[in-house]
Amino acid sequence: MSISDKIELPSSGLAEDILTQFIEKAQEDINQERTSVKKDQVETLMHLVTFQLGKEEYGVEIASVQEIIRATDITPVPGAPAHVRGVINLRGKIIPVVDLRKRFSLNAATGTDSDAQRIIVVELGPKRIGMLVDSVSQVIRIPLEVVEELPEESTNIDENYIKGVGKLENRLIIILDLNKSLLLNSL
């Protein structure tokens, strides 16, 4: 409480009432500080859905993820880009499905369990797009301090789909920039 704060005297004028009023005001100030500290802590965490493509682990921000479904009944579309596997009908909405292995020029899956394959449906602005992945791992929160930018030398500037790399205890998580990685009109 600063000197400029005025304490309104209670009608009784008792010291106990004045002290109670002072304590309540101090508690309100402490609660406001705690709330602002908690907001700062929340903002320093990145919430990711992680998934596998081969032996590598990738992540996308959970705020973009609409849902995760089994990879079944993908209808091929003639003339679609090579990395677009086809479309699915999801509750009456037609959603294109991007095969991330093809999009990232990775080798075709060998010996992967097709039952583990999933489609992660994401929302990019007004569009909904599905990403075909080998399997979905988990939802995690990682501190922003452990996320580093990828060195320029490691990728082609035109094809830099990576927002950063999360360094955890015994693993690296490649964090994707969905706007760049899911562009349907390229390749």
Q: Is 26 found in the same domain as 12?
A: yes
Q: What is the pLDDT of residue 23?
A: 73
| pLDDT tens, residue by residue, 110-156 | 655 578 899 999 988 888 999 999 999 899 999 988 888 876 666 65
Q: What is the pLDDT of residue 186?
A: 45
What residue numbers bound the domain in which 173 lies?
A: 45-181
- Residue 101 resides in a domain: yes
Whole-angstrom distance, CA of residue 17 vs CA of residue 78? 80
Q: Is 50 found in the same domain as 131?
A: yes
CA angle centred on 141, ends 139 and 144, rounded to 5°: 140
Q: Which residue has the higher pLDDT, 99 or 21?
A: 99
- Residue 86 resides in a domain: yes
Query: What integer is the mean pLDDT of 89-116?
Result: 82
Q: Is 28 found in the same domain as 87?
A: no
Q: Is 100 found in the same domain as 26?
A: no
Out of 43-52, 101-110, 161-170, which region has the weakest mean confidence (pLDDT)? 101-110
127-133 and 93-99 beta bridge pairing? parallel
Q: Is 136 found in the same domain as 67?
A: yes
Q: Is 164 found in the same domain as 81?
A: yes
Query: What integer is the mean pLDDT of 68-91?
Result: 90
Q: What is the pLDDT of residue 44?
A: 85
Q: Which residue has the higher pLDDT, 25 or 183?
A: 25
The CATH number for 105's domain is: 2.40.50.180
- End residue of a domain, out of 26, 43, 60: 43
Provide the whole-model pTM.
Answer: 0.69
Whole-angstrom distance, CA of residue 145 vs CA of residue 159? 25
Q: Is 20 found in the same domain as 56?
A: no
Q: Is 103 found in the same domain as 26?
A: no
| pLDDT tens, residue by residue, 14-57 | 666 666 766 777 777 777 776 665 555 555 888 999 999 988 99
Q: Which residue has the higher pLDDT, 109 or 80?
A: 80
- Residue 186 resides in a domain: no
Under a CB-based contact definition with an 8 Å cutoff, are residues 50 and 135 in contact? no
- Residue 10 resides in a domain: yes
Q: Is 79 found in the same domain as 20?
A: no
Q: Is 62 found in the same domain as 30?
A: no
- Residue 187 resides in a domain: no
Q: What is the pLDDT of residue 132?
A: 93
- Residue 53 resides in a domain: yes
Instruction: Name the domain count of the chain.
Output: 2
113 Cβ contact partners less than 8 Å away, ≥ 6 residues apart = 135
